[in-house]
Amino acid sequence: MPSSLIFALLLFVGLFILLEAKSLMRRRAYKELLVASLLLTLALLYGVDYALDWQVLPNPNILLTIFKPLSESVDKFFQVTS
């Protein structure tokens, strides 16, 4: 199981590099490339951490719990009533 998950993660990273990173470099869209690379790196790190059951990285549910009241207040503010 861990090896297949890590293989899938590396496959998607490779596909991103082949399909998107080259065109972003050609267009000199360095900000977009940086943001995509950071998100992809974070996803890869969390995926490997999960696959190998290391539990080294912090649990992202803690952040969701902290920001849930803020999220609910924003939802209430922008809620459209009929």
**Over the chain (82 residues), what is each successive 10-residue block's mean pLDDT?**
90 93 93 95 93 90 90 89 66
Q: What local confidence, expressed as pLDDT, does residue 81 receive?
A: 72
Map out the domains of the chain as residue ranges.
2-55
What is the Cα–Cα distance from 36 to 43, expressed in whole angstroms?
10
Enter the tokens of residue 7: 């293989």
Q: What local confidence, expressed as pLDDT, does residue 37 receive?
A: 94
pTM: 0.72
Crossing angle between the packed helical segments 30-51 and 2-16, to the nearest 10 degrees = 170
Q: What local confidence, expressed as pLDDT, does residue 82 receive?
A: 60
Q: What local confidence, expressed as pLDDT, does residue 63 receive?
A: 85
